[in-house]
Amino acid sequence: MSFLEFAKNEIEKAGLFSEEGDFYGGMIGKALMELCEVFSKQNHSEMSANIVASLFKRLTEWQPLSPLTGNEDEWIEVGPGIYQNKRCPSVFKEGSEGQAYQIDYFVFIDKNGAFYTSKNSRKYIESFPYVPQTIYVREDKDKREQEKREND
């Protein structure tokens, strides 16, 4: 079985070609097949396929491929005195000389599996170059249960 046959079969089994349902009228399946066709034409080895797929995933997540430098040309003013990094949209600073911070360094997962960020998600960047990352923190299923165990 070729990669394209495999991909088409998996996309069909997932119902992503369906014009009904929650998958944008089959657009998701078509988009995936287009990407798979381009990827297939590139004739990757297993190693280069993994590298390209990994880098492509980072790009689709708006993540830089190399460390942020913090240089002046990486910033754009998005509000009065608020600067956003052009290469990583989750990195900001207040004032042109302010300390940079990443707003989604910690992403919390609640007891129902929902992901969210809060004021506690922020991490101040001590120095550049800086490689953004995200740490996922699973909340306890029931904090009262944990407190009970600690008090026993």
Q: H-helix or E-strand containing 96?
A: none
Look at residue 152 and tell me if it is in a domain.
Answer: no
Look at residue 150 and tell me if it is in a domain.
Answer: no
Q: Range of 135's domain?
A: 72-143
Look at residue 55 and tell me if it is in a domain.
Answer: yes
pLDDT in tens, 78-112: 999 999 999 999 999 999 999 999 999 999 999 99
- Among residues 29, 27, 51, 28, the alpha carbon closest in space to that of 39 is found at 51
Q: H-helix or E-strand containing 92?
A: strand 91-94
2 contacts: CB under 8 Å, gap ≥ 6? 40
For residue 147, what pLDDT is reported? 45
pLDDT in tens, 28-67: 999 999 999 999 999 999 999 999 999 999 999 999 999 9
Statement to judge: residues 76 and 138 lie in one domain: yes
Choose the final residue of a domain: 60, 80, 102.
Answer: 60
